Chain A
């Protein structure tokens, strides 16, 4: 079935360094790739997303890249700050032709930014 793999499961960086989280998906028909940030005890919140007709998207310190051929997409956070510490989830959607969004989530990456 459809599957999304996410690596690493935990990531510790020093404040100011960059962080990269990688995901691969199995359904070649997937066409929408959101990233969610979930702080401890809070709801997942969308931080950035990318559609399959775009290879890269950037929003201030956050960027996402997509390689459709390899079925890879990655989240890049530059100049990390302690408030970036959270669990990050990637997801892949679409591909089944329905009118609703079926999101397949990765297992999450716990990012810890050390001050």
Chain B
């Protein structure tokens, strides 16, 4: 499959469960991102990985734990979530910017629709 893929597409979990979201990119990119999309709110950047190193963590609660084992794969490990964490979680990838003045396009996956009961 080409582009950016995410699994599962839908996930329902209880507050005491532990689950993981998976993202895979087939574009040869070297930067990957996790976003949270909630209704009537802008896309919120959660984590950024550059060459498998985390370079951005936007004050995300510790119940969300990212992992980037290589440049093609990105995980988001979830534990003891709250109902307000229900949202669409989007993964994206891009090439590293060609310097501070030359960012590259981000390509999004289809997202995982997460419901926390």
Contact = CB atoms under 8 A, between A and B. Distances in A.
Nearest to B94: A101
Interface stretch (B11-19, B48-56, B63-71, B76-84): B48-56
A95 B109 CA distance: 25
Interface centre among A32, A89, A103 (most CB of B within 10 A): A103
Nearest to B48: A100
A102 B56 contact: yes
Interface in A67-115: 89, 91, 93-108
A79 B97 CA distance: 34
A101 B31 contact: yes
Contacts of A105: 42-43
Contacts of A101: 31, 94, 97, 103-104, 106
Contact of A31 (B31, B43, B101): B101
Give chain B's interface residue range (CB within 8 Å of chain A).
20 to 34
Main secondary structure of the interface of A (DSSP, over half): loop
Give chain A's interface residue range (CB within 8 Å of chain B).
20 to 34
A42 to B, nearest CB: 7
Nearest to A42: B110
B108 A100 contact: no
Contacts of A107: 40-42
Nearest to A44: B108
Nearest to B9: A41
A54 interface: no
26 contacts: A31-B103, A43-B109, A44-B108, A45-B108, A46-B107, A51-B102, A91-B43, A94-B103, A95-B100, A98-B55, A98-B100, A99-B50, A99-B97, A100-B33, A100-B56, A100-B96, A100-B97, A101-B31, A101-B94, A101-B97, A102-B45, A102-B48, A103-B43, A104-B42, A104-B45, A105-B43
Interface of B: 4, 31, 33, 40-43, 45, 48, 50, 55-56, 90, 94, 96-97, 100-111
